[in-house]
Amino acid sequence: MAVVAMKRRQYPRNGALEALLRGFSIEVMPRTAAKVADFRALLPAGTRIYLAHIDGTPFDDMLATARRLSQQGFAVMPHFPARLIRDRAVLTEWIDRYRQEAGVDQALVLAGGISRPQGAFDNSMELLDTGLFDDFTRIHVAGHPEGNRDVAPDGAPQILLDALRWKQDFARRKGLEMAIVTQFAFESAPVIEWADSLIEAGITLPVHIGVAGPAKLQTLIRFAIACGVGPSLRVLQKRARDVRKLLLPFTPDEFLNDIAAHKAAHPEFNISRVHFFPLGGIKAATEWTRDHSGDSATRPEQN
């Protein structure tokens, strides 16, 4: 008996959303990447794939994953978490091996997901100040639309703005391409307000907005609490009170449509790309992007 292939669900065309999704990126870890036989079956050629370095992950696993993704034709951007790096010698080794063995020439430089340094570095500025990243073609840094409790426990935004201003000046001095990639959020209005506040503060780096891919509501709430997501957590909590929606997957449609509509109305808006955290699985996230990207899915256009 012949097997009939099921058609994918068709969504109405949304030019603003398609434009926003052009050049999207996605984040993976070695253990999640290992479950995907071939990323070329899921992602457009050249897509930027961030490689998250979680405390306890052996560097050799990071390197092997970076090498594999690079060989499959993707732009690999590994995390360099300052608080997990013991000293300059270790940082030098990581950079040299990534570059020589996996062809890596871009990096996300950040403090890291732990509150206390395990070695000589406390923050991303100290890593950048070593001069070891000067020959990279592109550096991304972290942004926090809802604050960063590790850096500013009292929510003081000036500390975070000053850090971003320092990084922007660094990129200009070194002639590096730089962008801000953010933690995921679920409510558009605070994100739009935060992005506008960067421009008002003189920070003109493009913003790649973090978005949680489709996932069970319980999964997202768990990750949101663990990652310090702030006010927009109420979007998930409100949905959780509706028993009819509790078991349905939560998708980023409303959030991204709001951002896309705002950008279409304000072309100078500084959110330029979307970065997916595939909290409900890599396949679910990539299928959502294919369903909503139109022909833009075939054009990574990294910047």
Instruction: Tell me if 243 is assigned to some domain.
Output: yes
pLDDT at 233: 62
Instruction: Tell me if 1 is assigned to some domain.
Output: no
From residue 158, alpha-carbon distances to 163, 169, 203, 233 in Å are 9, 16, 12, 23
Instruction: Tell me if 4 is assigned to some domain.
Output: no
In terms of Cβ atoms closer than 10 Å to its own Cβ (0-12, 13-18, 19+), residue 150 is middle
Instruction: Tell me if 20 is assigned to some domain.
Output: yes
pLDDT at 297: 47
pLDDT at 239: 61
pLDDT at 298: 45
Residue 194: CA atoms inside 13 Å, Cβ hemisphere, count?
Answer: 28
pLDDT at 241: 59
Encoding tokens for residue 2? Answer: 């012949």
Instruction: Tell me if 299 is assigned to some domain.
Output: no
* Contact present, 147 and 163 (Cβ < 8 Å): no
Residue 267, beta-bridge partner list? none
pLDDT at 115: 81
Instruction: Tell me if 6 is assigned to some domain.
Output: no
Alpha carbons 220 and 284: distance in angstroms, whole number: 14
Instruction: Tell me if 297 is assigned to some domain.
Output: no
CATH number of the domain to which 100 belongs: 3.20.20.220
pLDDT at 218: 76
Number of domains in the chain: 1
Across 52-86, b (16+ Cβ under 10 Å) vs e yields bbeeebeeebbbbbbbbbbebebbbbbbbbbbbbe
Please report, in tens digits, the pLDDT of each residue of the chain (303 residues total). 333 333 445 555 689 999 999 999 999 999 999 999 999 999 999 999 999 999 999 999 999 999 999 999 999 999 999 999 999 999 999 999 999 999 999 999 999 878 899 999 999 999 999 999 999 999 999 998 986 555 544 445 788 899 999 999 999 999 999 999 998 888 899 999 999 999 999 999 999 999 999 988 777 777 666 666 666 666 666 665 555 555 667 899 999 999 999 999 999 999 999 999 999 999 999 999 999 987 544 444 555
Instruction: Tell me if 301 is assigned to some domain.
Output: no
Domain span holding position 64: 15-292
